[in-house]
């Protein structure tokens, strides 16, 4: 490596060193473990041990910096003395608080000209969520977290500052210890069943896969920083156009090595389900009813009903165990941390489970006076059993199953699927018990992440830090549609095997240049860097049908002639150089310039190099004008402008041939046509913010307003006239605009008599709008979201990026419903139109309250949302089938208000509708209802996301140096105007781009209520 | 990490594109920084954007199998609906398609009835362009000839179905709006392409190679001479569509037929191999399950059960159509929904010969088997074309001979299809065939007694359930209910327009299918507006070819 060359020139003579020791204490005098002690201008130093003691080697005249996240840094010059004791001051809101900035560097808040927010790992871990992303909801202003469903291992999507990309991912880049972390959710598009033109494709609708960031053990996270805008992430490049989440993992703390053990046991329960009418029986009654439609005669008096829904769910037990061993050598030259954890989660739906094992090792070593090495490795194994969702899934089976039949009785005496209708086996929705017992969705993932870092600092003026890492995993998926099932019957059973092998190699090298004075009061610091990444993602998939033995699960058990294999390889390489320079004037005015040039493999070569700059500034006006401190403790203004480019997905611009499965094989073009003129898209953002603190830092305000516009946006899979010779194109030319406000309030309303009460409130208001689509095309949508009836996530110029289009009711020019003169029912459009539906909330608020009294603490997060529409497709289905309670008044005659479409509808005197409809006789009243009536407008909620009570046990207990017990509740309480089960829902999975299936609720299980308890001990 | 060894420095000449000075300085600084650091970008390292999952180009013959597949299957998709227009069958559901297509309407917002639109533009589209270009570059005139023939036939079926179509501007990825061409232009292009195809297929030498073509051609196994005959046959079909025009030349039609198929052995048939669970099986077969609710219509049955033939029952009826459980052959009334008043025992079984969809692998009937050899153009069909042309030319003797050939050939065709995969229907015996051909109700004893109606009725039977494009073209040429001037009776005896028509029709029968919704009604509206395609009754507008 070139590194070696640099090492060779670094033989600089070093002055005589001596050992300095001391103790770091908090503002209340308690020893602080894990505080950083750094020789200023180098990256060398030590961490304090459990007693707050440290020991470093430095030469006289050098300055020692003492840093601890959440506290103001202190500096001391090394003199003659050998002992330096320091007391740090807690400044949670203050400008001198130490935070992790972009590229994983620590910095004081005052120097940052961009919006970012950090969370401590302990706050994430205490929520006891298996997938740490679910813990971020409400904790960061501007972040929206949507879990696809409440099934263990379901995918969660996270977006920062709204939806700006119409068809690509809107999720942020995840960075772990400086290098990218793959957070893919497997797209069903790589399965053999989803080969182009397939008639049995899953289309990301009927099943879900885990988003891979959840392979991380939340207990291994030290801290997490959310970089919200492209300003902050200009340095992370094109993948961070939607922001970045920068995770720092735990390292060993010095002092005597120690074990730490924690566990938790959680009980999950769900009770929510739609209520069903019990007045009218099936349309075609009898021992075998005709179908699951309930427009028949009323049930006879004394009919026995079964509560099929209640008995179905189980009280699920989840347990976690974490054991870690960490410490550091007495001279602090080596630290280490090893941890093992095991999670075993049960879902409330039978046969849904998630298990994970993590083994993590991390070590840092100071090799010599100018070289420091850091190594971390994580192995994780997860095993996930899911159930189908949506169409034909167990929830719909549960709701549609006759209430007069005991669904628990799901097998015939011969051991096959018991059925109750005259429908064909492939048309009768599965009994839910059968569905979850016989169909299989299993995923096993083995993942290894390694990260090797070197820091070389032979010079006073700066240092060189280089990291190389490999994130590799094998994700083995098995999906079985049982031969007797609704899904599988016509196929004789279908088995999909898909092995995804992902291997991402990344390197990053930074040359940091320390701050140096270039003029009186003006100093300059900066960095130049380079990164290279090579991402490779291969899926080998096979499908087989016509099972020989109906219950034996193996591809070898399928009919040889039906086996179909498919391989999908996706590769993308990216090379970047970047730099940043910060001018600092008297520590109250900072201006940072950045620039980055990327070369990507996914854009035609003549345009694959692109440069983008950013500028941001931070002005501490209370330092510039000290008289202002009469009104406030400190105040900062910041402003930023940034551009960031973004490339296309691999293979987007040149069409390729597919091997066809039609008669006699051969090759033919796929759906997607060429676009050799493809160029990168650019997002241009402006941001203005202020951070103010009052009352001696007991009240802090952080306010940001932003505006961003994405130009030349690449829209994937947009349709055109077939006369092009193709069906879909990847085109530049969309424009979207996002704007919003973020407000974070932090305060300590109470700090007396040993009781401390801290509050953090995050307010977020964001809106995304589509301004233009490529080639003036009228609409863009993701076809996977067209999952129920005729509603999809279509957006058109002028609409929200989260709009819904559909076959909605026709109206005359005065806005009256148009009524069909032949039957008195309203007329629907036959094209996808807009009626102003928008899934984007008006605003969201997350409020965290923390109370501490002596050894007890209580912490809870309330999450509020106002506005945003949710499509309750489950309710539409229940209405169409005559099961929803609203259909109970079906005998009542009614006239639908509106005007007849008789040619006079747009005249001054349209004919008012006077046709009487009795739904019981004219079931089209229900069965023909537009889905529009089930898009519930302005959904609000208040939910208690999580609440934790923790009690510190006396130190003598169990001979532990540190022991505590806790009780945590998750999703215990919700109040909402949504009539369905849970408005946090995704009809697809996190794999779907654009606004995806967020807010489309069809046959999805809600997140259950959980109550966990456990203990934590350290020896 | 092997790739790092291949990394080169970027050439300095390319480091230019920025105009303003600060950026230049910044960029210079970055590049200087980059030189210090372990890696720099390079062309080779980034050259990983060639899709490794599929080739970007293949040999000319490998483009052919999917195109031939859709040549056979695509008309089946649209045929479900054309079959309702032409009363070959009826759908027993009480909603769509019975209340839309069954009433000579359409499904707004749906791609139903536009599968051939998809396949001509997409499944063939650029593939056909590439195949022809490669074949011509390599002097593979047989492959090129097949290409031109498909190209011409694609425009023919498309303009017959939709009227105005996009021809001149088609298969151009640089544009996103496409103007429609007239049907007259489309027909001109069809005939030009057929002549190019014929010229190419006549060539030997150069790289003409049966084995090479056979790799992609499982219809004629690379036999150029059969493709040449098919080209003449397709040309005959196109020329005969001009029957209502003053430019109609029956002699040219007859000449083309005579250069085409000589017997059933020349029939263009593509067998569905049924190796895949779905994609390569007959669209009308039981596995794909697209036809469980379709039943033969009364009009079609009455052409065969003696109603229109003075009592002579066609022996093909029991081999092509399905009986009811009571053993009788009935057709459904297109003016009532569902099975109407028929009792369970009277309701015709499905085309596979069962009450409900049979399990995979069950024996079926006629062309409704998973593994049927599916006809594209047949000898019998062309003989009826010749009969019509000769009849119109006044050569009744030639007409009668061709008419007889057509019936006899189709009876053999029915027998052959019922043997493709062990179907349940029995074979038509030689005696039955001879008796039928000797029956004066079917075959007049003198050429002078032959009627145009007889020719068209027998052609209808020969095309029933598969020849949708040609069959509908025929019926539209006779405006469904035109009278035979010689007899004063309907050319299609017993056919009546449904009493309730689709609301938007305003009383008019259907003459075209609207262009594909998701291609045109969403993305090409201005051009569609120019031809009147946005009108709700556009499908009732008569096409150019059928009128003088």
Mean pLDDT, rounded, of chain B: 91
Which of 591-630 (A) contact B at CB < 8 A?
Answer: 593, 595-597, 599-602, 605, 608-609, 611, 613
pLDDT of residue A94: 62
pLDDT of residue B322: 95
Contact B26 A661 (CB under 8 A): no
Cα distances (angstroms) measured from residue A403 to each of A294, A305, A471: 11, 5, 50
Which of 402-461 (A) contact B at CB < 8 A?
Answer: 424
Cα-Cα end-to-end distance for chain B: 74
**How many angstroms separate the CA of residue B139 from the nearest CA in chain A?**
21
pLDDT tens per residue across span A278-288? 999 988 777 67
For tokens 């160029």, name the residue: A679
What value does the mean pLDDT take over residues A76-81?
Answer: 84
Residue B54, chain A, CB below 8 Å: the answer is yes
| Phi, psi dihedrals of residue B370, rounded to the nearest 5° | -55, -40
Contacts of A343 (CB under 8 A, 6+ apart): A130, A318, A319, A320, A354, A355, A356, A357
* SS3 at position A500: strand
What value does the mean pLDDT take over residues A658-679?
Answer: 91
Residue B345 burial (10 A CB sphere; 0-12, 13-18, 19+): exposed
SS3 content of chain B, % helix, strand, coil (to 5): 50, 5, 50
**How many angstroms separate the CA of residue A158 from the nearest CA in chain B?**
28
A957 is written with which tokens? Answer: 């207990």
Strand order across the A833-838 sheet: A791-792, A803-806, A833-838
Q: What does the alpha-carbon distance between residue B547 and residue A306 come to, in Å, rounded to a whole number?
A: 67
pLDDT tens per residue across span A193-219? 998 878 889 999 999 999 999 999 999
Reduce the secondary structure of B143-154 to three states and give it as a string.
HHHHHHHHHHHH
Q: What does the alpha-carbon distance between residue B119 and residue B197 come to, in Å, rounded to a whole number?
A: 20
**Which candidate from B3, B63, B117 shows the least CB-CB separation from A722?**
B117
For tokens 């993701």, name the residue: A782
**B517 DSSP 8-state letter:** I
Residue of A nearest to B118 (CA): A722
B168 is written with which tokens? Answer: 């001149």
Residue of B nearest to A197 (CA): B279
pLDDT of residue B35: 45
**Which candidate from B30, B176, B177 shows the least CB-CB separation from A595?**
B30
- Total CB pairs under 8 A between chain A and B: 263
**Residues of chain B neighbouring A599 (CB-CB closer than 8 A):** 41, 46
Contact B279 A662 (CB under 8 A): yes
* pLDDT band at residue A233 under the 50/70/90 scheme: low
Angle, vertex CA B191, rays to CA B186 and CA B193, nearest 5: 90
pLDDT of residue B4: 34
Cα-Cα-Cα-Cα torsion A622, A623, A624, A630, nearest 10 degrees, comes to 40
**Residues of chain A neighbouring B523 (CB-CB closer than 8 A):** 719-721, 777-778
pLDDT of residue A231: 65
**How many angstroms separate the CA of residue A666 from the nearest CA in chain B?**
5
Residue A26 burial (10 A CB sphere; 0-12, 13-18, 19+): middle
pLDDT tens per residue across span A593-637? 999 999 999 999 899 999 999 999 999 998 888 888 888 888 899
pLDDT of residue A101: 67
Cα distances (angstroms) measured from residue A626 to each of A629, A700, B423: 6, 18, 98
**Nearest CA-CA partner of A525 in A538, A511, A540, A545:** A511
Residue B207, chain A, CB below 8 Å: the answer is no
B33 is written with which tokens? Answer: 């920084």
**Which of A568, A606, A668, A903 is the best substitution to test chain B (most B C-beta atoms within 10 A)?**
A668
pLDDT of residue A680: 93
Q: What ipTM was predicted for this assembly?
A: 0.89
**Residues of chain B neighbouring A656 (CB-CB closer than 8 A):** 51, 53-56
Q: Which residues of chain B have pLDDT under 50?
A: 1-20, 22-23, 25-41
Contacts of A255 (CB under 8 A, 6+ apart): A33, A48, A49, A50, A51, A53, A327, A328
Residue B506, chain A, CB below 8 Å: the answer is no
Pair type for strands A1000-1001 and A870-872 = parallel
Residue A85, chain B, CB below 8 Å: the answer is no
Q: Left (φ > 0), alpha (ψ -120 to 50) or beta: where does A841 sit?
A: beta
pLDDT of residue B49: 84
CB B429 within 8 A of CB B414: no
Beta strands in B107-176 (DSSP E): none
Q: Across-strand partners of A868?
A: none
Q: Left (φ > 0), alpha (ψ -120 to 50) or beta: where does A649 sit?
A: beta
A87 is written with which tokens? Answer: 């007391």
**Nearest CA-CA partner of B436 in B459, B460, B410:** B410
Task: Provide Rg for chain A, Cα atoms.
Answer: 30
Which of 459-478 (A) contact B at CB < 8 A?
Answer: 466
For tokens 């010059």, name the residue: A77
Contact A669 B31 (CB under 8 A): no
**Nearest CA-CA partner of B314 in B451, B399, B408, B447:** B408
**Residues of chain B neighbouring A832 (CB-CB closer than 8 A):** 109
CB A871 within 8 A of CB A1001: yes
Contact A673 B37 (CB under 8 A): no
**Which candidate from A530, A608, A721 shows the least CB-CB separation from B519?**
A721
Angle, vertex CA A116, rays to CA A111 and CA A122, nearest 5: 115
Q: What does the alpha-carbon distance between residue B91 and residue A257 come to, in Å, rounded to a whole number?
A: 79
Q: What does the alpha-carbon distance between residue B362 and residue B366 come to, in Å, rounded to a whole number?
A: 13
Residue A562, chain B, CB below 8 Å: the answer is yes
Contact B108 A830 (CB under 8 A): yes
Q: Across-strand partners of A657?
A: A669
Q: Left (φ > 0), alpha (ψ -120 to 50) or beta: where does B363 sit?
A: beta
For tokens 């608020």, name the residue: A845
Cα distances (angstroms) measured from residue B80 to each of A312, A940, B300, B479: 43, 48, 15, 20
Mean pLDDT, rounded, of chain A: 89
In order, the DSSP letters of A600-637 are ETTS-GGG-EEEEEEEEEEE-HHHHSGGGGGT-SEEEE
* SS3 at position A437: helix
* SS3 at position A69: strand
pLDDT of residue A43: 60
Reduce the secondary structure of B206-260 to three states and give it as a string.
CCCCHHHHHHHCCCCCCCHHHHHHHHHHHHHHHHHHHHHCCCCCHHHHHHHHHCC
**How many angstroms separate the CA of residue A188 from the nearest CA in chain B?**
16
Beta strands in A720-842 (DSSP E): 728-752, 755-772, 791-792, 803-806, 818-819, 833-838
pLDDT of residue A462: 86
What value does the mean pLDDT take over residues A430-438?
Answer: 94
CB A204 within 8 A of CB A993: no
Pair type for strands A843-853 and A833-838 = unpaired
**Residues of chain B neighbouring A602 (CB-CB closer than 8 A):** 49
Which of 773-832 (A) contact B at CB < 8 A?
Answer: 775, 777-779, 790, 807, 829-832
**Nearest CA-CA partner of A495 in A544, A438, A565, A564:** A544
**How many angstroms separate the CA of residue B545 from the nearest CA in chain A?**
22
pLDDT of residue A251: 86
**Which of A662, A665, A818, A830 is the best substitution to test chain B (most B C-beta atoms within 10 A)?**
A662
pLDDT of residue A11: 36
What value does the mean pLDDT take over residues A917-936?
Answer: 92
Contact A466 B38 (CB under 8 A): yes
Residue of B nearest to A595 (CA): B26
Contact B176 A720 (CB under 8 A): yes
* pLDDT band at residue A90 under the 50/70/90 scheme: low
Residue B518, chain A, CB below 8 Å: the answer is yes
Angle, vertex CA A495, rays to CA A489 and CA A498, nearest 5: 150
Residue of A nearest to B108 (CA): A830
Contact A599 B73 (CB under 8 A): no
**Which of B66, B503, B524 is the best substitution to test chain A (most A C-beta atoms within 10 A)?**
B66
pLDDT of residue B18: 37
């Amino acid at each position: 490596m070139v590194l070696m060359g640099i090492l060779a020139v670094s033989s600089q003579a070093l002055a005589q060193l001596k050992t300095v020791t001391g103790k770091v204490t908090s503002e209340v005098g308690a020893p602080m473990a894990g505080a950083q002690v750094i020789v200023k201008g180098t990256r060398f130093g030590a961490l304090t041990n459990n007693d707050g003691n440290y020991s470093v080697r430095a030469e006289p005249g050098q300055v020692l910096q003492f840093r601890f996240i959440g506290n103001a840094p202190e500096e001391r010059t090394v003199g003659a003395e050998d002992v330096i004791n320091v007391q740090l001051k807690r400044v949670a809101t203050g400008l001198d608080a130490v935070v992790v900035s972009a590229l994983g560097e620590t910095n004081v808040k005052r120097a940052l000209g961009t919006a970012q927010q950090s969370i401590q790992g302990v706050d994430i871990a205490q929520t006891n969520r298996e997938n740490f992303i679910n813990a971020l909801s409400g904790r960061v202003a501007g972040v929206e977290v949507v879990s696809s469903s409440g099934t263990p291992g379901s995918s969660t999507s996270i977006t920062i500052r709204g939806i700006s990309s119409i068809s690509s991912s809107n999720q942020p880049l995840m960075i772990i210890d400086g290098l990218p972390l793959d957070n893919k959710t497997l797209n069903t598009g790589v399965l053999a069943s989803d080969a182009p033109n397939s008639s049995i494709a899953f289309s990301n609708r009927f099943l879900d896969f885990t988003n891979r960031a959840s392979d991380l053990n939340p207990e291994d996270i030290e801290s997490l920083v959310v970089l919200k805008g492209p300003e902050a992430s200009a340095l992370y490049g094109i993948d961070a156009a939607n922001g970045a989440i920068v995770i720092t993992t735990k390292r060993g703390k010095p002092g005597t090595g120690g074990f730490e053990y924690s566990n938790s046991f959680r009980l999950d329960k769900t009770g929510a389900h739609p209520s069903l009418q019990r007045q009218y029986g099936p349309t075609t009654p009898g021992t075998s009813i005709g179908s699951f439609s309930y427009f028949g005669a009323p049930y006879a008096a004394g009919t026995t009903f079964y509560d099929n829904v209640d008995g179905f769910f189980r009280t699920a037990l989840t347990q976690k165990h974490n054991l870690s061993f960490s410490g550091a050598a007495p001279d602090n030259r080596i630290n280490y941390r090893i941890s093992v954890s095991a999670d075993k989660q049960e879902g409330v739906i039978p046969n849904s489970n998630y298990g994970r094992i993590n083994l993590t090792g991390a070590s840092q070593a100071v090799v010599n006076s100018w070289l420091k090495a850091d190594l971390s490795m994580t192995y994780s194994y997860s095993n996930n059993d899911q159930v189908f969702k949506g169409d034909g899934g167990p929830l719909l089976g549960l709701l549609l199953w006759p209430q007069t039949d005991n669904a628990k009785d799901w097998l015939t005496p011969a051991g096959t699927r018991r059925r109750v209708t005259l429908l064909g086996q492939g048309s009768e929705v599965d009994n839910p018990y059968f569905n979850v017992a016989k169909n299989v969705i299993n995923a096993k993932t083995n993942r290894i992440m390694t990260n090797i870092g070197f820091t070389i600092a032979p010079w006073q003026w700066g240092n060189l830090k280089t990291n190389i890492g490999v994130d590799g995993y094998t994700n083995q998926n098995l999906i079985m549609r049982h031969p007797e099932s609704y899904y599988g019957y016509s196929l004789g059973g279908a088995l999909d095997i898909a092995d995804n092998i992902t291997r991402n190699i990344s390197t990053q090298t930074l040359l940091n240049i320390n701050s140096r004075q270039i003029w009186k009061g003006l100093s300059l610091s900066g960095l130049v860097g380079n990164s290279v990444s090579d991402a490779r993602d291969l899926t080998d998939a096979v499908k087989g049908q016509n099972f020989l033995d109906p219950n034996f699960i193996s591809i070898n058990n399928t009919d040889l002639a039906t086996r179909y294999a498919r391989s999908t390889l996706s590769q993308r390489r990216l090379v970047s150089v970047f730099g940043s320079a910060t001018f600092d004037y008297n520590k109250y005015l900072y201006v940072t310039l950045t620039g980055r040039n990327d070369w990507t493999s996914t854009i035609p070569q003549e345009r694959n190099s692109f440069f983008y700059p950013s500028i941001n500034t931070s002005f501490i006006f209370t330092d510039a004008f000290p008289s202002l401190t009469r009104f406030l403790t400190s105040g900062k203004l910041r402003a930023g402008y940034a551009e960031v480019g973004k490339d296309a997905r691999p293979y987007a611009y040149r069409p390729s041939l597919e091997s066809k499965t039609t008669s006699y094989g051969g090759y033919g073009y796929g759906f997607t046509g060429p676009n050799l003129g493809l160029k990168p898209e650019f997002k241009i953002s402006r941001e203005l913010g202020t951070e103010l603190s009052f009352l001696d830092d007991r009240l802090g305000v952080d306010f940001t307003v932003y505006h961003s516009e994405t130009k030349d946006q690449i829209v994937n899979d947009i349709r055109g006239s077939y006369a092009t010779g193709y069906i879909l194109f990847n085109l530049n030319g969309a424009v979207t605009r996002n704007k919003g406000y973020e407000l974070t309030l932090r305060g300590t309303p109470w700090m007396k008599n040993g009781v401390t009460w801290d509050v953090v409130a995050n307010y977020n208001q964001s809106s995304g709008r589509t301004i233009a689509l490529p080639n003036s095309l009228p609409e863009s949508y993701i076809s996977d979201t067209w999952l129920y009836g005729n509603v999809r996530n279509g957006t058109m110029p002028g609409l929200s990026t989260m709009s819904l289009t559909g076959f909605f009711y026709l109206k005359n020019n005065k806005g009256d419903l148009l009524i069909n003169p032949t039957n008195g029912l309203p007329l629907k459009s036959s094209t996808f139109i807009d009626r102003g539906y928008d899934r984007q909330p008006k605003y969201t608020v997350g409020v965290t309250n923390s109370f501490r009294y002596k050894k007890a603490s209580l912490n809870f997060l309330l999450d509020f949302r106002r506005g945003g529409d949710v499509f309750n497709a489950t309710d539409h289905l229940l209405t169409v089938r005559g099961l929803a309670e609203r259909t109970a008044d079906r005998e009542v005659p009614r006239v639908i208000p509106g005007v007849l479409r008789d040619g006079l509808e747009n005249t001054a005197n349209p004919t008012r509708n006077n046709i009487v409809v009795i739904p019981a006789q004219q079931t089209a009243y229900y069965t023909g209802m537009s889905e529009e009536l089930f898009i519930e407008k302005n959904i609000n909620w208040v939910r208690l996301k999580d609440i934790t009570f923790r009690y510190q046990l006396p130190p003598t207990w169990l001979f532990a140096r540190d022991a505590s017990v806790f009780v945590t509740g998750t999703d215990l309480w919700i109040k909402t105007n949504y009539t369905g089960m849970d408005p946090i829902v995704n009809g697809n999975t996190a794999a779907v781009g654009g606004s995806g299936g967020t807010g489309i609720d069809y046959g999805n299980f809600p997140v259950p209520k959980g109550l966990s308890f456990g203990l934590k001990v350290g020896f | 990490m092997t790739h790092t060894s291949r990394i080169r420095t970027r050439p300095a000449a390319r480091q230019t594109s920025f105009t303003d000075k600060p950026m230049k300085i910044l960029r210079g600084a970055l590049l200087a920084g980059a030189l210090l650091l372990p890696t720099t970008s390079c062309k080779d390292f980034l050259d990983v954007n060639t899709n490794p999952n599929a080739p970007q180009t293949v040999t000319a013959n490998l483009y052919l199998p999917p195109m031939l597949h859709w040549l056979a299957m695509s008309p089946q998709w649209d045929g479900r609906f054309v079959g309702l227009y032409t009363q070959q069958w009826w759908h027993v559901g009480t909603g769509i398609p019975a209340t839309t297509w069954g009433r000579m309407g359409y499904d707004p917002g749906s791609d139903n009835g536009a599968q051939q639109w998809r396949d001509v533009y997409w499944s063939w589209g650029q593939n056909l362009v590439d195949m022809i270009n490669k074949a011509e570059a390599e002097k593979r005139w047989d492959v090129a000839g097949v290409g031109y023939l498909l190209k011409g036939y694609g425009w023919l079926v498309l303009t017959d179905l939709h009227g105005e179509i996009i021809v001149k501007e088609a298969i151009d990825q640089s544009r996103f709006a496409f103007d429609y061409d007239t049907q007259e232009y489309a027909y001109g292009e069809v005939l030009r392409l057929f002549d190019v195809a014929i010229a190419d297929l006549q060539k030997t030498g150069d790289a003409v190679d049966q084995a090479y073509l056979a790799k992609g051609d499982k219809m004629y196994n690379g036999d150029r001479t059969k493709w040449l005959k098919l080209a003449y046959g397709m040309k005959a079909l196109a020329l005969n569509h001009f029957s209502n025009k003053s430019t109609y030349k029956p002699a040219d039609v007859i000449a083309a037929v005579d250069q085409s198929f000589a017997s059933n052995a020349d029939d263009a048939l593509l067998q569905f191999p049924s190796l895949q669970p779905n994609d390569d099986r007959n669209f009308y077969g039981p596995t794909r399950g697209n036809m469980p609710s379709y039943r033969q219509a009364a009009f079609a049955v009455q052409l065969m059960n003696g109603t229109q033939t003075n009592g002579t029952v066609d022996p093909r009826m029991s081999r092509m159509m399905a009986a009811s459980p009571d053993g009788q052959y009935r057709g459904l009334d297109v003016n009532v929904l569902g099975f109407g008043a028929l009792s369970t025992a009277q309701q015709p079984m499905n085309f596979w010969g069962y009450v409900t969809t049979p399990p995979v692998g069950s024996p079926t009937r006629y062309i409704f088997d998973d593994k049927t050899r599916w006809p594209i153009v047949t000898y019998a069909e062309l003989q009826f074309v010749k009969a019509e042309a000769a009849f119109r030319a006044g050569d009744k003797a030639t007409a009668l001979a061709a008419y007889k050939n057509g019936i006899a050939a189709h009876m053999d065709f029915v027998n052959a299809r019922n043997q493709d995969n062990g179907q349940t229907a029995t074979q038509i015996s030689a005696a039955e065939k001879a008796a039928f051909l000797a029956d004066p109700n079917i075959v007049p004893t003198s050429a002078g007694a032959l009627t145009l109606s007889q020719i068209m009725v027998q052609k209808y039977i020969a095309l029933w359930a598969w020849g949708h494009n040609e069959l509908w073209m025929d019926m539209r040429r006779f405006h469904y209910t035109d009278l035979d001037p010689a007899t004063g009776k309907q050319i299609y005896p017993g056919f009546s327009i449904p009493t309730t028509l689709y609301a938007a029709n305003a009383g008019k029968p259907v003459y075209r299918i609207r262009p594909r919704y998701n291609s045109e009604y969403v993305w090409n509206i201005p051009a569609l507006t120019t031809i009147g395609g946005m009108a709700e009754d556009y499908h009732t507008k008569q096409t150019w070819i059928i009128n003088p």
